[in-house]
Amino acid sequence: MNRKAMAADGPQPAKKLKLQNQTLRENSLFGMGNPLLDICAVVDKDFLDKYGLKTNDQILADEKHKELFDELVKKFKVEYHAGGSTQNSVKVAQWMIQQPHKVATFFGCIGRDKFGEILKKKAEEAHVDAHYYEQSEQPTGTCAACITGDNRSATPFRKHSLRSLVANLAAANCYKKEKHLDQKENWQLVEKAKVYYIAEAATFAREQGFETEDIKEIAKKAQGLPKVNEKRQRIIVFTQGKDDSIVATADKVTAYPVLDIKPDEIVDTNGAGDAFVGGFLSQLVYDQPLEECIRAGHYAANVIIRRSGCTFPEAPDFH
C-alpha cells in the first residue's frame, strides 16, 4: 500500500474558515531534506537493458549505474526538475500559494557541479527560496526517470508511459549542520518561518512497535505520543493512495475520501504523496482549518497524478 505520513502542529479543526486575503511574508514555510535533480527522458529498451533496469520500478543507484546519468543526458532529450520528497512538497506549496514568491524556503546539500547549478536554477524557477549547502566531496544527488511508452504513447507527457526511477542520493547525504544550519544567516531563515516540514514516516508503526496494522489505530497511537510543545495539538495524517486519507487529532480519527479520478486519466502516481503534503502546507501556512488543509492536499495530488513527474500547470484552480 502506498502510504505517506506527516505530523504537523496544525490548525485547530473547529476554527472558522478565513478568507485568504492576508498577505504571506517570504520564508513563512521551511522545508529541509534530500534535494535531487530529476532528469527525465524517453529511453529505449537497449538503455534499460544496459543498466539492468525494469519498467515501473524504482531503485537506488549502485556502481553499475555510475555512468547512467551522464549517458542519459548525452543520448536522449531530457527535462530537468527540482526533486526529492521534501523539495517536491515545498515546491507544490509555493505553486498553490503563487504570490508572494519565496514563501517556501528549502535547505539541503548539493555538489559543486553542473547538476547542482541546474538544480539551483530549477528551484529558482519554482520560486522556492532554496539555500543549499554546497560541497565537493560528492556530486549533486540525481534521480533518473527513464520513460518508455507502450504502443499508444512514447512521450513523457502522454498517458500509458512506464517509468524506471534510479536515484543517486550522493551529496544529499552530506549535509553538515554546523557548516550550514548553524550559520547565522541561515538560522535566521529558520526562525523566520511559522510552519516547518522535515520528516516523513512510511514505516512509523513498525519502528514504534505499535503492534497493529489498522491504519486508524496507528494514527491514533501516533497522535498520542509524547510531545515537547504542548501549546498546540499534534495532528497525524496518513495518505493511502486511492484510499481515504486518515487524520487523527486529540479528539477523533477521521477518514477523508480522495477526489474521484478515472483510471485512464492517471498518468503518473509518483509524487502524489509529496503533492498532498505541499497542498496541505499551502493552507496550513495561512492558518486554515484542518478540513481545508486536507482538501488542498487532495486537490494538489489529483493535479499531479494527471501529469508526468511532480509537475503542474502554471497556476492552480483551487477555490
Which residues are annotated as catalytic?
Answer: 274
Residue among 259, 267, 68, 265 nearest 163 (CA) = 267
Q: Residue 316, preceding bond cis, omega within 30 degrees?
A: no
Residue indicated by cell numbers 548539493: 110
Neighbours of 149 (CB within 10 A): 15
Classify the phi-psi angles of 308: left when phi > 0, otherwise alpha if psi is within -120 to 50, otherwise beta.
beta
Judging by beta carbons within 10 Å of its beta carbon (0-12, 13-18, 19+), is residue 107 exposed, middle or buried? buried
- Answer for the pair 259, 246: CB distance below 8 angstroms, yes or no: no
Amino acid identity, position 10: G
- The C-alpha cell 528549502 sits at 106
Which residues lie across from 282 on neighbouring strands? none
Q: Determine how many CB atoms are found less than 10 A away from the CB of residue 62.
A: 10
How far apart are alpha carbons 15 and 292 in whole angstroms?
A: 10
> Measured between alpha carbons, how far is residue 130 from residues 109, 121, 292 in Å?
10, 10, 27
Distance in angstroms (rounded) separating the CA atoms of residues 239 and 314: 25
